[in-house]
């Protein structure tokens, strides 16, 4: 709306002007004020967008403009004159804000003048709004820049204009002033100075992103390899370069986390799956000429029970070393699971696979272990499978089929006493991999099995590390549940939780998991551990009014502390039961428990949820991560979420992280933790501390 002030001692003419303007412009405020030239309202003229002044005597005119000058008025003024010769009047008062003049009864000229001034006013408002938005955007950007985990600086003529905290940390500086007077050349090793000078000269008119790799120097003279990424930028109105520093040594360590198993030094499960995928996508027929051995250490759970976790880990490491020593140039050995390995043999000759397997079995069973006296040497169960290129396999199913065939052959040996080898081709019964997951087909039997498990402690907890990639030294584990069948085989949650919910048994399962978890973490904490447990609660738990008091009793009985526990809720469950979830979560926070959202995804409910419920951890749904490497908009959304989390002291966990490139991106964005099978499979016992890349 446009507020109008009319200064005239002729209300009839003034109203005529107002009606004409109102008919022409809907923006004219219907509360237009009419005052006489000597009225005190003139002293409030700055409150109006447009002023029409009906000129009178010279004294009246001078008084009016004097008042405006004292008020520092910036509103445009249109003068109405009863005289025909009005140019001198406009010329006299133009320096005081008069924009134009019209003859009192010349309504058409008034409308033309008003049209111009109103358009100018609209343009001015748009400009100020854009300027305001620009300033806000600039402030948000600077805030994001300063809190970003990416090391960024702005450079002009080789000197630092501005650096963020991450940039200072990379070079081991604590104050921005220390870098303000320091040229970027001083941060680069001397043998790279000429190289950097030539690069900067060649990029004087840089229009796109360019990068170089150099040796950089920290304030303590420590040297590290880095990639400098230069791109054109504007900082505080000055043309300059934005420089981003990537620590290549840290990048290599991050890649190593994905490629190498930290306990044994063997190639990791992720590297193995990547190799299978590469062979699947290869158009070279030679890529399919290999054999896959799935190797399982028999009786390893008994070794853990007998000798303890630390000793059994050392035994496993010795087994790994022995297996690696038997590997020839045409073989690659990987650690696949807790006590399982896979081996690729560059041959499709099943006899070679058999001889290799027999050699491995014989060597392990006759090895004299140096760590424990009189230890009974463990044995191996080995299954073998080979690609069948004549068989039609759907896209992306090759690796899964081949691995499952080797696994089935291995399981057949293991279930019949172990210490042997079997090729999948020799199995008498061909069972689909999905049928092997669970022996339960009868839903009635499944219900009885769940009830029996609840009554007789036939559930089992396994623990998966949640690994910090930002240097956090705390030990965090996700607690997962397994159901044991009559043969003590584990049934994964995907095969029984949905049915348990249908039978109304989820509340009992939730309580079993909570109680066992609290007892477990209390024992671990008494032995000096700093671990924390993430415990998943179901939709039934949210609707259970008695659960909170029951949790309080469990914590009190075991002398546990709420701060050790993070209860996580699925994002959709909270949205569907907001009031009940809010009540339960507020209660858990009162006993110092932490709260996590699981399966979080971008949603219209996000702002409402985060404003109403005190959240400590956000666990991202894996679909959020799928597109950030090739979709800049999705990447920016994740950066904004991470900034929001940082500002509100919320940690973020990325789940199902499988690709090393993704791991690097997550570290750069500032994601706190990662969780996934490619890093660590869930294990029955907590074997070692979850560590981050150094």
CATH (domain of 113): 3.40.50.2300
* Highest mean pLDDT of the ranges 287-296, 387-396, 440-449: 287-296
Asked if residue 313 and residue 230 are part of one domain, the reply reads: no
Condensed to tens digits (0 to 9), the pLDDT of residues 218-258 reads: 988 889 999 999 988 888 888 888 999 988 876 666 655 56
Residue 360 tokens, joined: 């491995």
Please report the pLDDT score of residue 594 as a whole number: 96
Q: What H or E segment, with its residue span, contains residue 379?
A: none
CA distance 680 to 28: 68
- pLDDT at residue 303 tops 90: no
pLDDT digits (tens, 9 = 90+) for 304-336: 888 888 888 888 999 999 999 999 888 999 999
- CATH code at 598? 3.20.20.450
* Mean pLDDT value of segment 550-558: 94
Pair (537, 619) in one structural domain: yes
Residues 574 and 624 in one domain: yes
Predicted pLDDT at 71: 60
Is residue 323 located within the same domain as residue 395? yes
The predicted-structure confidence for 340-367, as pLDDT tens digits, reads as follows 999 999 998 888 998 899 999 989 988 8
| Average pLDDT value for residue range 113-137 | 87
Tell me, yes or no, whether 373 lies in a domain: yes
What tokens appear for 445 in the block?
Answer: 């039997």
Residue 27 domain flag: yes
Q: What is the pLDDT of residues 80-121, one digit of tens each?
A: 998 876 788 888 888 888 889 999 999 999 999 999 998 998
Domain count, the chain: 4
- For 210-267, the DSSP string reads EEEEEEEE-TTS-EEEEEEEEEEEEETTEEEEEEEEEEHHHHHHHHHHHHB-TTT-SB
Q: Based on the domain organization, do 652 and 569 belong to the same domain?
A: yes
264 and 245, same structural domain?
A: no
Measured CA to CA, the distance from residue 150 to residue 259 in angstroms comes to 24
Domain boundary among 220, 251, 282: 251
Between 662 and 654, where is the model more confident? 654
Q: Examine the fold and report which residue of 199, 225, 251 is the final residue of a domain before the chain moves on.
A: 251
202 within some domain: yes
Asked whether residue 71 falls in the same domain as residue 180, the answer is no
Q: Is residue 432 part of a domain?
A: yes
How many helices (H) and strands (E) are present in the chain, helices listed first?
Answer: 25, 24
User: Is 406 a member of any domain?
Assistant: yes
pLDDT in tens, 255-294: 555 678 878 889 988 889 888 888 888 888 888 889 999 9
Q: In this structure, is residue 207 part of a structural domain?
A: yes
Task: Let me know: does 272 contact 334? Beta carbons within 8 Å.
Answer: yes
Instruction: Mark whether 466 and 364 lie in a shared domain.
Output: no
Do 216 and 311 lie in one domain? The reply is: no
Pick the range with the lowest mean pLDDT from 169-178, 205-214, 476-485, 518-527.
Answer: 205-214
Does the residue 409 lie in any domain? yes
How would residue 546 be classed by pLDDT, with cut points 50, 70 and 90? very high
Judged by DSSP in three states, 693 sits in coil
Task: Flag whether pLDDT at 44 surpasses 60.
Answer: no
At 578-601, the pLDDT tens digits run: 889 999 999 999 999 999 999 887
**Which of 256-265, 359-368, 398-407, 495-504 has the least mean pLDDT?**
256-265
Domain with 632, as residue range(s), is 460-476+531-675
The whole-chain average pLDDT of the chain stands at 83
**Separation between Cα atoms, residue 580 and residue 545, nearest integer Å:** 8
Cα-based distances in Å from 12 to 34, 113, 515: 11, 21, 86
Residue 589 covered by a domain = yes
Query: Are residues 204 and 290 part of one domain?
Result: no
Distance CA(69)–CA(63), nearest Å, equals: 10
pLDDT band at 439 (very low <50, low <70, confident <90, very high): very low
CATH of the domain at 287: 3.30.70.270
Say whether both 161 and 292 belong to one domain. no
Centroid of chain to Cα 299: 39
pLDDT at 432 over 80: no
443 has a pLDDT exceeding 80: no
Q: Is pLDDT at 619 greater than 80 in this prediction? A: yes
- Whether 649 and 574 map to the same domain: the answer is yes
Give pLDDT, residue 484: 87
- The secondary structure of 206-220 as a DSSP string is --S-EEEEEEEE-TT
Confidence of residue 694 (pLDDT cuts 50, 70, 90): very low
- How far apart are alpha carbons 393 and 388 in whole angstroms? 9
For residue 190, the domain's CATH number is 3.30.450.20
Segment 446-458, tens digit of pLDDT: 788 888 889 888 8
């Amino acid at each position: 709306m446009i507020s109008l002030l009319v200064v005239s001692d002729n209300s009839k003419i003034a109203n005529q002007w107002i009606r004409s303007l109102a008919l022409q412009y809907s923006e004219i405020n219907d509360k237009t004020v009419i005052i006489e030239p000597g009225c005190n309202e003139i002293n409030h003229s700055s409150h109006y967008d447009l002023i029409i002044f009906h000129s009178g005597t010279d004294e009246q005119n001078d008084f009016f403009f004097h008042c405006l000058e004292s008020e520092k008025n910036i509103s445009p003024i249109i003068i109405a004159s009863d005289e025909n010769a009005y140019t001198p009047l406009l010329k006299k008062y133009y320096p005081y804000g008069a924009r134009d003049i019209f003859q009192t009864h010349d309504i058409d000229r008034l409308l033309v003048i008003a049209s111009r001034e109103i358009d100018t006013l609209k343009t001015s408002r748009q400009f100020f709004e854009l300027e305001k938005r620009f300033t806000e955007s600039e402030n948000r950007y600077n805030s994001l820049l300063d809190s970003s985990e990416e090391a960024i600086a702005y450079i002009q003529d080789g000197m630092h204009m501005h650096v963020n905290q991450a940039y200072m940390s990379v070079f081991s500086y604590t104050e921005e002033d220390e870098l303000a007077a320091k040229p970027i050349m001083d941060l680069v090793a001397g043998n790279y100075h000429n190289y950097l000078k030539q690069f900067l000269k060649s990029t004087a008119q840089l229009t796109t992103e360019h990068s170089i790799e150099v040796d950089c120097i920290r304030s303590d003279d420590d040297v590290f390899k880095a990639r400098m990424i230069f791109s054109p930028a504007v900082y505080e109105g000055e043309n300059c370069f934005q420089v981003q520093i990537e620590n290549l040594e840290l990048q290599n360590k991050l890649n190593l986390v994905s490629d190498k198993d930290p306990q044994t030094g063997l190639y990791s499960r992720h590297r193995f799956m990547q190799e299978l995928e590469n062979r699947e996508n290869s158009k070279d027929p030679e890529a399919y000429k290999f054999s896959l051995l799935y190797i399982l250490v028999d009786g390893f759970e008994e070794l853990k029970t007998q000798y303890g976790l630390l000793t059994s880990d050392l035994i496993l490491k010795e087994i790994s070393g022995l297996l690696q020593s038997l590997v020839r140039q045409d073989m690659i050995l990987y650690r696949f699971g807790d006590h399982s390995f896979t081996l690729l043999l560059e041959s499709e000759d099943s006899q070679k696979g058999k001889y290799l397997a027999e050699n491995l079995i014989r060597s392990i069973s006759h090895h004299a272990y140096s760590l424990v006296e009189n230890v009974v040497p463990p044995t191996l169960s080995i299954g073998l499978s080979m690609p069948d290129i004549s068989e039609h396999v759907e896209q992306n199913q090759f690796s899964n089929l081949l691995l499952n065939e080797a696994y089935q052959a291995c399981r057949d040996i293991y279930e019949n006493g172990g210490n042997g080898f079997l090729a999948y081709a020799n199995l008498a019964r061909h069972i689909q991999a999905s049928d092997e997951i669970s022996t339960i087909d009868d839903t009635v039997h499944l219900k009885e099995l769940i009830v029996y498990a609840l009554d007789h402690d036939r559930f089992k907890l396994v623990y998966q590390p949640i690994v910090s990639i930002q240097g956090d030294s705390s030990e965090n584990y996700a607690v997962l549940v397994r159901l044991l069948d009559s043969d003590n085989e584990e049934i994964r949650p995907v095969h029984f939780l949905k049915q348990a919910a249908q039978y109304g048994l989820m509340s009992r399962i939730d309580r079993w998991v909570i109680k066992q978890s609290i007892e477990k973490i209390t024992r671990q904490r008494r032995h000096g551990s700093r671990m924390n447990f993430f415990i998943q609660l179901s939709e039934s738990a949210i609707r259970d009014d008695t659960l909170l008091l029951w949790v309080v009793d469990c914590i009190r009985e075991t002398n546990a502390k709420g701060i050790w526990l993070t209860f996580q809720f699925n994002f959709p469950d909270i949205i569907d039961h907001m009031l009940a979830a809010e009540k339960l979560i507020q209660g858990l926070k009162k006993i110092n428990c932490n709260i996590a959202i699981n399966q979080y995804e971008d949603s219209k409910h996000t702002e409402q949820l985060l404003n109403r419920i005190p959240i400590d951890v956000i666990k991202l749904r894996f679909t959020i991560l799928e597109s950030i490497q090739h979709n800049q908009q999705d990447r920016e959304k994740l950066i904004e979420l991470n900034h929001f989390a940082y500002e509100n002291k919320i940690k973020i966990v990325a789940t199902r992280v499988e690709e090393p490139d993704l791991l690097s991106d997550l570290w750069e964005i500032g994601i706190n933790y990662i969780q996934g099978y490619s890093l660590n499979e869930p294990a029955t016992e907590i074997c070692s501390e979850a560590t981050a890349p150094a």
